[in-house]
Copies of this chain bind each other. A is one copy, B any other.
């Protein structure tokens, strides 16, 4: 096994032409004798077709890239699983890459699509910069964005009303008797950060409450650690700036908020109720279990995959937008005891 057997070797071994060998293996018109001869030779040599050569000839790797900012967020894992499930049937391999937090890395990835990194791209970017928007538009393969593009560009999008998600959380807290609702947001230069802030303000307005910036904290990332640090700041400012609830912009921030509250002797949900967003497994399993607004991560992944498959089949389709509706799941962190 000094070197992989090629189709040429198989053909020679079977005593037929390369063209016939290809047909026999791939299923073109070939006699039964030819098929069995070639199959035998292929098995004997341990022949495995070269995907690179096939891609070059056929024009198209059967690979789709899924790009995500933080692979450690279970939110994206749910999307990933749904997408993978949708593609395995179609014989498409999914290539997951974490773009990290640097725009540079994201741009490199998007541009690499033009050099044949895959036949399509599903991307869920936290930050949509003008450069990224331009890069996405210049991509030669179809792209589906999970999130928002801020502007009307000719790209398929699966979106969710992120602001509404926060409004639902605020409404739930108001309905369960909370009166001073703090807000633990993620970075404002991200799409979720910006729209969730809008939702927070809208939610307060709907309840006839006036916003108070002294109970609003902006974490520098959507992570547990960032949530911890920002929550500590919120607690420090009490009791002069008091609150009886925290709306966190995602589940990881909510976990950071709860753990910091408890460590500081602030009872959850007795003194402070906490809500998250994403409805990850993390939220359901935490102690106390965390009330969270589902923004349909699995559903969004599924839809993104289908949009891409449809575009593969029909490339001239007009760009489409698919919206998923958020829904709140009440749990112990807002005083709702779990049913059986």
A236 at the interface (CB under 8 A from B): no
A95 touches B95 (CB 8 A): yes
The answer for the CA separation of A117 and B138 in the assembled complex, in Å, is 26
A229 at the interface (CB under 8 A from B): no
B72 touches A115 (CB 8 A): no
The answer for the CA separation of A138 and B263 in the assembled complex, in Å, is 53
Chain B residues whose CB sits within 8 angstroms of the CB of A32 once the complex forms: none
The answer for the CA separation of A111 and B48 in the assembled complex, in Å, is 9
Chain B residues whose CB sits within 8 angstroms of the CB of A93 once the complex forms: 97, 112, 117
Which B-chain residue is minimally distant from A73 (CB atoms)?
Answer: B77
- Assuming the contacts A4-B114, A115-B50, asked whether A285 and B224 have C-beta atoms less than 8 A apart, the reply is yes
B224 touches A281 (CB 8 A): yes
A154 at the interface (CB under 8 A from B): no
Chain B residues whose CB sits within 8 angstroms of the CB of A53 once the complex forms: 56
Per-residue CB contact flags for chain A residues 1-12 toward chain B (1 = under 8 Å, else 0) read 100100000000
A94 at the interface (CB under 8 A from B): yes
A287 touches B285 (CB 8 A): no
A115 touches B48 (CB 8 A): yes
Of the listed stretches A169-177, A204-212, A251-259, chain B binds A251-259
- Assuming the contacts A72-B281, A224-B281, A285-B224, asked whether A52 and B55 have C-beta atoms less than 8 A apart, the reply is yes
The answer for the CA separation of A48 and B56 in the assembled complex, in Å, is 15
The minimal Cβ–Cβ distance linking A111 to chain B, given in whole angstroms, is 7
A84 at the interface (CB under 8 A from B): yes
Which B-chain residue is minimally distant from A76 (CB atoms)?
Answer: B71
The answer for the CA separation of A224 and B286 in the assembled complex, in Å, is 11
The answer for the CA separation of A286 and B283 in the assembled complex, in Å, is 11
Which B-chain residue is minimally distant from A65 (CB atoms)?
Answer: B95
Residue in B52, B72, B74 whose beta carbon sits within 8 Å of that of A52 in the complex: B52
The answer for the CA separation of A203 and B328 in the assembled complex, in Å, is 45
- Name A240-266 residues within 8 Å CB distance of B: 255-256, 258-259, 262-263
- Residue pairs across A and B with Cβ atoms less than 8 A apart, 9 shown, are A1-B140, A46-B138, A52-B61, A71-B96, A94-B97, A95-B95, A224-B281, A256-B285, A258-B287
